Structure 1
Amino acid sequence: MSKKLEPNNNNNNNNNNNNNNNNNNNNNNNNNNNNNNYFHINFINHLILSTLSLTGLLLFCLIGFSYLKPYEGADSPYCKGVYMSPAYAKIHAFDLSHTKFASKYSLYLYREQFKDSMPSYSSSNSNSNSNNENFNLSGTPILFIPGNAGSYKQVRSIAAETSTQFFDNNEFIKNLNLNSNNLDFFTADFNEDFTAFHGRTMLDQAEYLNDAIHFILSLYKNNNNSINNVNDNKISPNSVILLGHSMGGIVARVMLSLPNYLDDSVNTIITLSTPHNAPPTTFDGDLLNVFKLTDDFWRNGFINDNNSKLSNIAKKRLENVSLISITGGILDSTLPTDYTTLTGLIPSNHGFSISTTGIPEVWTPIDHLAIVWCDQLRKVLAKTLLQIIDVNSITQTYSLEKRMEIFKSNLLPGFQKSSEILKNINMDYNLPYKLKIDLKQLKNSANQRFIKLPKNLTKKSEIYSPPIHLFYVPKDENFKFNFISSLKPSNIQLLNNSPAPSVLLCRTILKDNKLIDNYQHNYKEFYDYTTDITNQFAELECMDINKFIYIVPKSYSNFENNELYALEIPSNILSFFNSIVLVESNLDINYLNNDDFVLADLELEKSSYHKLGDSSLWKLISRGNDITIPSHRSIIVDIDIPAIKSSMLAYKLDVRYIKSKTEKFSPLICQSIKGETKWHLNIDSNKIITSIINGNSPFTPFIINDPSSHVKLKVFSDSLSSDQLMDIYVSIDWFQSLKLLVLKYRLSIIGFPICITLLIIAIQFNYYSKYNFYPSYGEIMLYISNFKIMSFLLIFYSILSSLTKSSSFFGKLIEFLDPVERNNLKLMDKIENKPVEINSIFMGIDEPSLWFYGLIILLISIGLNYLIYNLLLLILNIFIKFSKLKIWNFFNFPKINYFSNQRKTLSVIALLMLVLIYLPYQFAYIVCVLTQAFSTLNLFISYPSLNSYSTQENQNLIEIKESSLEKINEKSNIFSTIPNNTKEPERHLYPKKSLILLENFKNFNLSFTILMLWLIPIHVPVLIVWIHDISLKWQTPFSSHHNILAILPIIIFIQLLNQGYMIPTLNSKINIFITKALLFYFSVYSLLFGTRHLYYLHTLFNFVCVWFLFIMIQDWGNGHLENFNVFMVSKDYVSKIH
């Protein structure tokens, strides 16, 4: 019958063939069109990806290059070198009987040779010092706490200077503080522990130091050389001053919150470059928890509406504590200066933060290590420490109020001193001094508004009395008095001891003033500048204001006489007085050398104040701002720049004016914002200044609508000698702005790129769940590089900072996505009595005008992913080529199949037991990464015919949406060689299943390896701490790091991948939804919270592995779990991967 049907069949076949041929021709035409479209789309995607990646990498390199460029001007280092003769006496008596940490840490006593009395050891026991008298302690105890990987020897510079000042300049110190005493510097040796990486280490140090304070105070009891007061009564101190460097300052604060703290044993803490407001690293959850608990303890100690047990303990311990935070400014390349502020932590009457650029007689930025030895700073600190000592007090220090007064006087710039004029005198009573002045002396100065000394060929007054200049203060308008001089104004009682004049605030004594009769005897001194021929005179009662003078640097040089003296008295102070009197000394100013001068003026307050631009940062960015200061200006001009408030930008100040030859000094500009002051000196014609500020910063607290949160300038100039205008142009210094990103976002180099990596993996799983095909990492990078997706990402990253502001509704909503507990803003509000905010999401920027930083982050993230992926491909290709040359045969490297599954399982169990008992889980993670990387490498070496990056073999992913798995197999030309011994019925399975599984398995392993590599930096710091402790033969209780549940899912999942198991296709809608949701949340969390909570990325990665294991177990229970090896080989064929 077949033969009979053949013709018909042939005819039918012919017709069918003709139809098929026509269809094939049509299909070929369509395929050609599709191929052309595909090539066009593929080329555009490649172009977009390459352009964006190269742009990101270029920006990354530019940021690195800008970071290497040294600072100039006010941000340049000017520290002087130091010399000392150090000696360190180890205190062996502080052993295990006093603290359990004695085998790990040590305590030393510093002694400056030839000044301090040296400890003496009895010959019977030279290695221990049970006899307290042998230490020869006669000073006030102070304990130095080194920082992260710091040394106990870092105390030597400040300790040596303190001894030098006390013993060599004792008369000067006694004039400053009659009750002063030398300091006994104790210092802790932590064996260079990494405090910044590990919370448990910080607690160990704090607990050890509390024990050390117990021991130190016990040394002073029954000590023959103990401190003697005036009555020769021996006083044993009950408190120790704490001086902490870097993380040592945090340890000092932690000490007061621990159970073993001795009440009232600490009342003064001075910290140098300490990150009070935010942890410098976020690799360890314990570290962040210690920071939060310590901050909450301190905040509860300063609020009154909380009567909890913790709050009551904190109030008792902190009621007399002062905390001073000193930062080195922008030159500190280890720690962002923004982290050292005390906003929302303590009230202003208990402490403050200050930059070294604003400390009088320091005026220089200092890097992180130099801050403990910089000569200018150590001199100020030594003088300050000696001033706060009260040898007659059991605490060995003055009261909190007096200590704060000393700290403010020595460390703050001094602009605030004039506000204390009224606090120092009762205006209802007579002022200290009475002046009687001949009115003839005032005939030329009745309406005087400025004075300039010396005056050439000055004619002496006919009256034999010092020349007197009087500024009458009108009451109808608000006036401001300005004074600047190269000579420090003299107290009127010491007027003729130097050529410096005296400056007095005075008011007229009225005859009908009843107070005269009652309080006339209260005048401290009476100065009569009249003579026998005086016909008319005026009587004034005055107060000397020389102690309210503040110091101004003249130049950046390190020579002596580098100071000017300035004074500003605003209208609210002048309103209580009638006049300002300047009394010249009988010793004339040496005007021939033109070195010394005195300038003063009395101007309308509104003419001394100028506003440069408005508060719009975008206007400043796009157009810049400028101002012209008139020629007849005050010698001190205040300029307010509301737009300069973000620390994310560097600003350029272009100062233009024509310098006069008769000027007494070159103009200088003081820049101030919050607790930071900088001096821009030696300003000449067309001077360009780079201004970097400590304004509102990412991830740190700030006060909303704080009037001090934007830049204010003070321009000092000899306007009395020059009639030239001064123009100031403000713009953005973009290259220096890139430099600022390094310290603020150095931790973001992990979180932001991981977001892109997880986004790629999520899209891979999306296609895998739909089409049983797992695309390569490079394919998805090309896929998201199409115009629509990339445009969306660019727009999203641009507006994300505005959306995530802490004050926005969306920002508050997003905070619920973060399970990590945050700082209590309500406590901060109560501390400051003002609303406080922290921008801790994404980049932490609250300024909408800085939207472009989001684009920079996106481009760098794409660029780094592109770089990492291509580097891995390069490494794989190199190993593949070497494998073909069979070079590895000369080395006896074990294959993966060298170890049986049984031995692998035993290895996993052994690793888990070690984690439980001894190893931190970070070590196990590094082992897993190495295992996964080696397994992936062997996989690519074993099957080198597939290119995991190329998309040309599989065509555009758009075709996948319209294709079934069979169509993909039909179009694919990537079939590997099928083993010759494979049975015929099984051969048809290979193109359809084995090769797709091979493609999937390789692509997934490579993507998973990239993700694991990104997470390595999170685990390394804790591992470094563990290795360091091993070297010290100390087993730190890594309690949280011995949790096997934190690593068990990762180990098991890596083991399954190593055995050839692939994640099954996601068929269940619930599984698909959970997988996408988990990867999406992981990606979003890395982007929004990754910078400040890096440690939590490991937790999320662990959850991902748990979920993958659950999917595998689910499919294994259904009998559908596929093993890569089963489909690639027959029963008697051994795969290369095994």
Structure 2
Amino acid sequence: MSLHIPSNKHNHRLQSSKYILLFLTICGLTILSLIGFSFIENLEGADSASCRGVYMSPAYARVNGFDETHTKFASKYSLYLYREQGKDVFPRDSETVGAATLRLEGTPVLFIPGNAGSYKQVRSIASQCANTFYDNQDQLKQMNSGVNNLDFFTADFNEDFTAFHGRTMLDQAEYLNDAISFILTLYKNNPTPATSVILVGHSMGGIVARVMLSLPNYVEDSVNTIITLAAPHAAAPTTFDADLLHVFSSTDSFWRHGFIKNLEESKLGIIAKRRLENISLISITGGLLDNTLPADYTALTGLVPESNGFTIATTGIPGVWTPIDHLAIVWCDQLRKVLSSVMLQVVDRRSTTQTYPLKKRMEIFRKCFFSGFEDEAIKDFDAYKAGRGGEELEYALKIDTKQLKETTRERTFELPKTKNKRDLDSPDMHLFYIPKDGLKFKFNFISSLKPVSIEDLGQTSAPSVLLCRTLSSNDKTFKKDFDYTTGATSQFVQLECVDVKNDAHMIPRSYSDSVSSSESSIGANKDPFYSIQFDSAVLSMFDAVVIAESPYGVSNDDFILADLELKQSTNLVLGESSLWKLFTQGYDITLPSHRPIAVSVKVPSSWSSLLAYKFDIRYQQSQNERFSPIISQRIRDETKWHINIKNNNDITALIQGVSPFCPFTTNKDSALELQLFSDSLSSDQIMDIYMSVDWFKSLKLLVLKYRLSIISFPVFITTLIVLLQFRMYIDCEIFPSFGQALLLFCDLKILVPLSVSLSFLSSIASQKGFQKLLNLIDPMELGNLELMQEIEDSNVHVNLYFLGLEEKALWFFGPVVLVISLSLVCGFYYALVLLIWLSSLALKKLSFFSDFVKPTKHIYNRRRFIGTAILITLIPLYLPYQFAYVVCCIVQVVVVIKAFVANNISTPYQSSSLEKQNSSTHDIVNNFKNFNFSMLVLMLWILPVNIPVLIVWVHNFSLRWATPFSSHHSFMAVISIVLLIQNNVAGNMVSRPSGKVAAFVTKFILAYFSLYSLLYGTRHLFWLHYLFNFFCAWILILMIDDYWNGHLKNIMSLKRDDKPSKLH
């Protein structure tokens, strides 16, 4: 089909296309502006930053003994030992800091900084660990009899860019394995020599920690505990470097093989199983406040089983309750206090591993990091263990039935309340009988007072909570018997019980004057609330819940509430699973006035991390309420708390749900669950909840998830435009300007089918069959879904194509991406035209203008040849090919400026009609200018792919370190580009693919280039460079063919108006 059409009709279509292009550009830039405004808007409520500042007295001792005799990286990297001044013992003065001078008696910990991170980032956590250990030893010994001080080592990587370069990651991992081998020798003379080191990794340092275990120089059993802070386990944060993706892929494969049980034993599997069987990996994310790394990337889905690790958000960690940005996560006061406590609990100085066994470590991690309301938390409850026989029922209760008068069928309990105190020398007992009629019940307890052990009852106003069974035998022995009967007792009950004070979990304080969860977080001056929840999984193993009141009265400032309700009344559902119905109609639910004090509301339609969900809560607040309602939002590994819910209060739920390009499972935790805590015993008001989507705040969520798409999608548009240019060139022998082709692209006959295609593509890219097809034509190997499913024991899905969408209702994202990409290309095009036009105008007015456009030919050719030869020669020896690409971009800019000058500084958008180009010489010069300008546009869009690796090379050059860049020293990756640019400098015009085969191949290459950018580009940006290099190679083949046939045109040899070309 020819694009050559009658002039009048063509001009009319071009005019229409101008208006369409203008409209779409305005729309695209408006959407981008809204995204920008949404991204910079400060978050409120549960998503606002609440970290408190920290103070410390750091000192760093460089371990000079770790030198070239121990590692080949000693000249680039350094190892330091952190010491807290006034707490830790300092090394003795010595020129060489080694085993004899360091005086180490603690448990070794190695801190690994992240991308461009400093070794000094260890100071906050290390300082808190030292202060906690030395200031709270009695308390620590009660929690952990094997507690020991922590010796923090930290690596100085000279702020290496590990997020940009895979080889750098491998260097760091190899260096740290050598460091661990050396560190362990420092403890060999201790009474219990350490054989393992705890790893704490920030950002990319967490990935380096995982890489370490897969390398040949790993010291067997030297690592068994890894804690990562904001580390991208699920996906690489950047995709500019092929080596980086290969390191991620091979490391993930190693770890997955290490946890697969039913798999044929291979050498890799045997090594991986041996190294990982006792590993615990905890991934901590700061949540939405992290503007450097998408929080979804920190997930361990399909990588580590629950028995060996989990991911947790700081918003749900008890006592932290705040999102944390990427850098603050290493110093946030609330988090460092929890981390120090956890690390001091898992160490065991009596063991050579210096830590407890895997099962106990994981139990400690779950108890300290989980909110306590997750399904996985139940197995660590004292009540659950006692019910299943894992622990003994320690207490026996003998209770006068007068104490239980009118309470044997009690369903609710509240304090304070007006009542007459019974004249008994024993506490009031409240018994919640658990029916055995097959119905499922749920027990809820919430209080401003932390429950105490029944042994300590009466020391404060706090109550005791126990789960009990009817005493089956009087022969049993107990830790302690409590006899609350008297000589006047006629009837009594005997129970064997477990005290569940340890099953009480902190939740944020919520009164009418509460502003933030941080007011009651760890280290704050206000006390939190405490909650206990047991469902039928626990209650079915007991006969009753017993609450024992303290003899001291509860003040009016405090409260204790409890109830036992049918599970069906505590579990409700808001709306349906249809996202489209949520978009168009919204959902609502009315909670009854006589509801349990804790109600769970499942939201089936709320599972996408691309949307912000708005909940409008309406109810009439009662003055008798003892606390303001609290709502927790929970999905997968994330819990957030919304406190002090008032009438007509709007809360926005921003969640870590199903995210583009990240593995996920489809189970009951896939959708958002809201849990409402309210004083329904004092209020008889209903509560209405209206749900909708907050589209403006949803725009904020697009930035981090699609930041790499800002390159791939414009490349998709640009290559399509170049395809239109070549199509016209093949048909009409005229290479239209980029602006003219842009107008042709905006023809409704092209835009409408393309928009419809992208709409369908958004929906079908998540289909398994379509994904298998895309996987077959993808040159990059993807993660093994079968291994992921074995680890998760459920279906694991991941969509790495196009937008990575699983939400079919978001089909309109495809056309929106088209509009945004088109506006970016259009804006970039006009900006580039303006800059080149101004540069050309300035050069024309300068005195050396003639020298700029008329160099001496033989000198110029010799200089060009020598420069090219030197550049190509240095690539295999020293320079990365990215350096050559940047040079080519600069040279191409000069070529385009010269072409503008030669064409009387006309712009590529000068002529609105192709028929005006009727002079053969004028056509060739215009063709040359238009082709080179389009090449420059494409090269500049691909330039950001090459810059990061070049930054790494410059950084290493400044350190005088020659890092092996094996994959970046292949001159084949850039030689086609270099040679084509040199042909452009020489004035050779791109050959017209006149034959059918040549025309088809040209169109096919550009079409594949464009399609690859669209489907795979975001996750494989580095491949765009290779495709461009291949395209340049094909253009060179066409030019060589024309050269041999004598058809190659060179504008240097042309005459224009009987005058030599200005390019000569």
Give the alignment's TM-score, normalised by structure 2. Answer: 0.96
1:479 aligned onto 2:441: yes
Match of 2:512 in 1: none
1:74 is aligned with what amino acid? Answer: A
Give the Cα–Cα distance (whole angstroms) in 1 for the partners of residues 467 and 378 of structure 2.
Answer: 12
8 Å Cα contact 1:655-1:686 kept in structure 2: yes
Matched AA of 1:408: R
Contact 2:293 2:326 in 1 (8 A): yes
> After superposition, what is the alpha-carbon deviation per residue over 1:926-955, rounded to whole angstroms, capped at 9, x for unaligned?
00000011111111012126442144342x
Shift of 1:58: 1.2
Matched, 1:785 2:746: yes
Deviation at 1:443, TM superposition (A): 1.8
Per the TM alignment, residue 777 of structure 1 is displaced from its structure 2 partner at its CA by 1.1
- C-alpha separation between the residues in 1 aligned to 2:115 and 2:721? 37
Aligned to 1:415: 373
Letter in structure 2 aligned against 1:388: V
1:299 to 230, 238, 256: 256
- Corresponding residue to 1:339 among 278, 290, 297: 297
Contact 1:418–1:548 (8 Å) recurs in 2: no
Distance in 1 separating the partners of 2:73 and 2:932: 46
Q: Distance in 2 between matches of 1:306 and 1:395?
A: 30
Kept in 2: contact 1:472–1:579 (CA 8 A):
yes
Alignment partners' CA distance in 2, 1:504 and 1:140: 38
Q: Does 1:678 align with 2:640?
A: yes
Native 8 Å contact 1:897 1:1137 kept in 2: no
- TM-superposed deviation, 1:836: 1.0
**Which residue is 2:44 aligned to?**
72
Alignment-derived partner of residue 358 in structure 1: 316
SS at match of 2:223: coil
Q: How far did 1:1129 drift?
A: 5.5
Q: Which whole-Å deviations, capped at 9, do the CAs of 1:968-1008 have from their partners, x for residues lacking one?
A: 5xxx3x57xxxxxxxxxxxxxxx2x2122112111111111
Residue aligned with 1:363, SS: coil
Contact 2:1053 2:1061 in 1 (8 A): no
Residues 556 and 426 of structure 1: is their aligned pair in 2 closer, same or farther, counting only changes over 3 Å?
closer
Question: Distance in 1 between the 2:854 and 2:131 partners?
Answer: 68
Give, in angstroms, the shift of residue 363 of structure 1. 0.4
Alpha-carbon deviation of 1:1134? 4.2
The range that moved more, 101-110 or 574-583, is: 574-583
Q: Does 1:586 align with 2:551?
A: yes
Q: Is 1:1136–2:1062 an aligned residue pair?
A: yes
Which residue pairs with 1:564 in the alignment? Answer: 529
SS of the counterpart of 1:715? strand
Does structure 2 conserve the Cα–Cα contact (< 8 Å) formed by 1:300 and 1:306? Answer: no
Deviation at 1:259, TM superposition (A): 0.5
Distance 1:891 1:495, change over 3 A: farther
Deviations 1:263-312 (A, max 9, x none): 00000000000000100000000000000000000111111223101110
Give the gaps of 5 or more residues in structure 1: 1-32, 227-233, 955-967, 976-990
Gap change, CA 1:82 and 1:1111, over 3 Å in 2: same
Who is 1:726 aligned against?
687
**RMSD across aligned C-alpha pairs, in angstroms?**
1.8
Output the CA distance in 1 between the equivalents of 2:719 and 2:944. 17
Say whether 1:887 aligns with 2:846. Answer: yes
Which one of 154, 164, 185 corresponds to residue 218 of structure 1?
Answer: 185
3-state SS in 1 of match to 2:458: helix
Q: 2:824 aligns to what SS in structure 1?
A: helix
Instruction: Give the CA deviation at 1:921.
Output: 0.6
- 1: CA distance, partners of 2:906 / 2:318: 69
Are positions 1:129 and 2:94 aligned together? no
C-alpha distance in 2, partners of 1:738/1:904? Answer: 49
Letter in 2 for 1:761: V
Matched, 1:236 2:193: yes
Aligned to 1:658: 620
1:256 aligns with 2:213: yes
8 Å CA contact retained: 2:1054, 2:1060: no
Corresponding position of 1:551: 506
Contact 2:740–2:912 (8 Å) recurs in 1? no
Q: Return the match for 1:139 from 95, 106, 116.
A: 106
The answer as to 2:572 corresponding to 1:645 is no
CA pair 1075-663 structure 1, distance change in 2 beyond 3 A? same
In structure 2, the residue matched to 1:27 is: none
Opposite residue 547 of structure 1, the aligned amino acid is N
Q: Distance in 2 between matches of 1:157 and 1:945?
A: 60
Equivalent runs, 1:38-437 vs 2, <5 Å: 38-122=10-94, 126=95, 128-130=96-98, 132-222=99-189, 226=190, 234-304=191-261, 305-416=263-374, 417-419=377-379, 420=381, 421-426=383-388, 431-437=393-399
Give the secondary structure class of the aligned counterpart of 2:442: strand
Instruction: Say whether the 8 Å CA contact 1:56–1:860 is kept in structure 2.
Output: yes
Match of 1:959 in 2: none
1:716-766 alpha-carbon deviations (Å, 9 max, x no partner): 011111111111111111111111111000000000000010001111111
1:907 aligns with 2:871: no
Aligned-residue offset at 1:583: 0.8
Uncovered stretches (5+) of structure 2, i.e. residues with no partner: 510-515
SS of residue in 2 equivalent to 1:396: coil
The equivalent residue for 1:1110 is 1037
Letter in 2 for 1:465: S
* Counterparts of 1:524 and 1:221, CA distance in 2: 42
Cα shift at 1:557: 4.2
Contact 1:430 1:541 in 2 (8 A): no
2:495 aligns with: 540
Counterpart selection for 1:825 from 785, 790, 801: 785
Separation in 2, partners of 1:522, 1:937: 95
| CA deviation after TM superposition for structure 1 residue 261, in Å | 0.5
Match of 1:1026 among 938, 948, 953: 953
- Alignment of 1:531 with 2:486, yes or no, is yes
* SS across alignment from 1:1112: helix
Give the superposition deviation at 1:37.
4.2
Amino acid at match of 1:387: Q
Distance 1:725 1:897, change over 3 A: farther
Q: Is the 8 A contact 1:882 1:888 kept in 2?
A: no
> Hey, what's the Cα distance between the residues in 1 that align with 2:861 and 2:777?
41
| Aligned sequence identity (%) | 53
The offset of 1:44, in angstroms, is 1.5
**More deviation in 168-177 or 641-650?**
168-177
**Cα deviations by residue, 1:100-147 (Å, 9 ceiling, x for unpaired):** 00000000000000100001123xxx2x235x2211111110000000
**Partner SS for 2:109:** strand
Query: Which range moves more in the overlay, 1007-1016 or 468-477?
Result: 468-477
The total of aligned residue pairs comes to 1043
Deviation (angstroms), 1:1133: 5.5
1:1049 match: 976
CA offset digits 1:589-612 (Å, max 9, x no partner)? 22xxx2211000111111111100
Aligned AA for 1:50? L
Q: Cα distance 1:351–1:888, how it changes in 2: closer, same or farther (>3 A)?
A: farther
Alpha-carbon distance in structure 2 between the residues aligned to 1:61 and 1:755: 22
Residues 205 and 427 (structure 1 numbering): CA distance in 2 closer, same or farther, change over 3 Å?
closer
Post-superposition Cα deviations, 1:32-74, rounded to whole Å, max 9, x if no partner, equal x976644433321111111011111111111111111111110
Against the structure 1 CA distance between its residues 686 and 386, is the aligned structure 2 distance closer, same or farther, given a 3 Å change threshold?
A: same
* Cα separation, 1, equivalents of 2:390 and 2:612: 49
The structural deviation recorded for 1:480 is: 1.4
**Rounded Cα–Cα distance in structure 2 between residues aligned with 1:1056 and 1:110:** 58
Q: Which moved more, 1:445-454 or 1:73-82?
A: 445-454
Alpha-carbon distance in 2 for matches of 1:388, 1:38? 76
Amino acid at match of 2:949: V
The aligned residue for residue 757 of structure 1 is 718
**Contact 2:115–2:205 (Cα < 8 Å) also in 1:** yes
In structure 1, distance between residues paired with 2:985 and 2:303:
51
Within 1, Cα distance between the matches of 2:278 and 2:362?
Answer: 11
User: CA contact under 8 A between 2:115 and 2:159: conserved in structure 1?
Assistant: yes
2:730 aligned with 1:775, yes or no? no
Q: TM-score, normalised by structure 1?
A: 0.90
Change (3 A) 1:945 1:447: closer
SS at match of 1:197: coil
Shift of 1:691: 0.9
Note if contact 2:444-2:598 (Cα within 8 Å) is conserved in structure 1.
yes
Alpha-carbon distance between aligned partners in 2 of 1:361 and 1:870, rounded to the nearest angstrom: 53
| Contact 1:670–1:715 under 8 Å retained in 2 | yes
Kept in 1, the 8 Å contact 2:991–2:1042? The answer is yes
The answer as to 2:544 corresponding to 1:618 is no
